[in-house]
Structure 1
Amino acid sequence: MARIVFIEDDPTIGGGLAPTLRVLGRDSQWCGDGAAALKNIEASPADLVLVDLGLPDIDGFVLCRTLREQAPDAVLVVLTARTGEMDVIQALECGADDYLTRA
């Protein structure tokens, strides 16, 4: 079963998505900040990582670079409210496989 790690500091979003994915039969973990996510993925590799760029402790772009090094085989998707073209370009240059915006 694919393991999904969702990195999001907003508990309304993170606290809702991970349990929903588990109900759907997915092995999912919500991490509220970048440091917790790095520890989590180091302890148990992820197949899919969803990253919000606006985290309280680590710049989202730096986190993408670190995740790409730490989990080179994981699919890394940025899921953020940022819609700027330069944000998309920078995220992809930092190792993201895709970039999705949310309202």
Structure 2
Amino acid sequence: MRLLLVEDDALLAQGLIQSLKKEGYAVEHADTCASALGAIEAMTPELVVLDLGLPDGDGLTVLKALKQQRAQVGVLILTARDELDDKIIGLDHGADDYLAKPFEPLELFARLRVVARRFGKQQDSRLNVEPVTLDLASHQVEFEQNTLQLPRKEYMLLKALMENKGRVLSKSQLEDKLYHWGEELGSNAIEVHIHHLRKKLPTGFIKTLRGIGYVVGS
């Protein structure tokens, strides 16, 4: 499920990105109102975790624009503002839930699941980009009557590409999705994983745009 995290606290955002990815979300991060509005257009998120206190304006501006453009996106406000009036204002502007800082990550994940169910956006159990199907529950790949069980990094890489069908992902974007901050990473790790995946998948399924990145389904 595509999730946009709008948070200007770099350390908090870094920790949340890692935790949310472990929960299975495809996470993009914005730290200003301007970058959040751009990300909304680029990635069409299904869930948004939105801080109200942003350096270039009030997060409510993002919330208003988001609800005007995409009424079916779930929004959870995440903020240090714990006054009742702020909570009411956020909900009145279309937020679906509200969580004040500091908070426990497990509570955030539980609230996001509730919001996702409300919008009927629970993560589908299967991703399909012809002729390949990825079963998110079993981690199996199916195509042309073949069934594969991939190693974790290859599975995560394929999942990221299939979740972004038709969208080119750069090497750095794929590294962010596969590796946690501080984890040791070889200079050609993505190329190696792509090489192994290509040997297992239909010919031409993963396409390379030289100097740009990788894409499936285009």
3-state DSSP class of the match of 2:53? coil
Is residue 84 of structure 2 the alignment partner of residue 85 of structure 1?
yes
Is residue 30 of structure 2 the alignment partner of residue 27 of structure 1?
no
Cα shift at 1:20: 2.4
Aligned twin of 1:40: 39
Cα shift at 1:21: 1.7
AA aligned opposite 1:31: A
Q: Report % sequence identity.
A: 38
- Per-residue CA distance 1:22-49 (angstroms, 9 max, x = gap): 2333201111111111111101111110
Q: Which has the higher contact order (CA 8 A, sep 6+)?
A: 1
Cα shift at 1:59: 0.9
Matches within 5 A, 1:1-103: 2-103=1-102
- Per-residue CA distance 1:52-98 (angstroms, 9 max, x = gap): 01001121222211111122111011011111010011001111111
| TM-score, scaled relative to structure 1 | 0.91
- Conserved? CA contact 1:4–1:29, under 8 Å: yes
Separation (CA, whole Å) in 2 of partners of 1:49 and 1:5 = 5
Structure 2 gap segments, 5+ residues each: 103-218
- Conserved? CA contact 2:33–2:61, under 8 Å: no
Cα shift at 1:7: 0.2
Q: For structure 1, which segment, 86-95 or 19-28, has the greater mean C-alpha deviation from structure 2 after superposition?
A: 19-28
Separation (CA, whole Å) in 2 of partners of 1:97 and 1:24 = 20
- Conserved? CA contact 1:78–1:96, under 8 Å: yes
Structure 1 gap segments, 5+ residues each: none
Separation (CA, whole Å) in 2 of partners of 1:9 and 1:80 = 11
Separation (CA, whole Å) in 2 of partners of 1:15 and 1:35 = 19
3-state DSSP class of the match of 1:76? strand
If you compute each CA radius of gyration, which structure gives the higher value, 1 or 2?
A: 2
Alignment RMSD: 1.2
Structure 1 segments of 4 or more deviating over 3 A? none
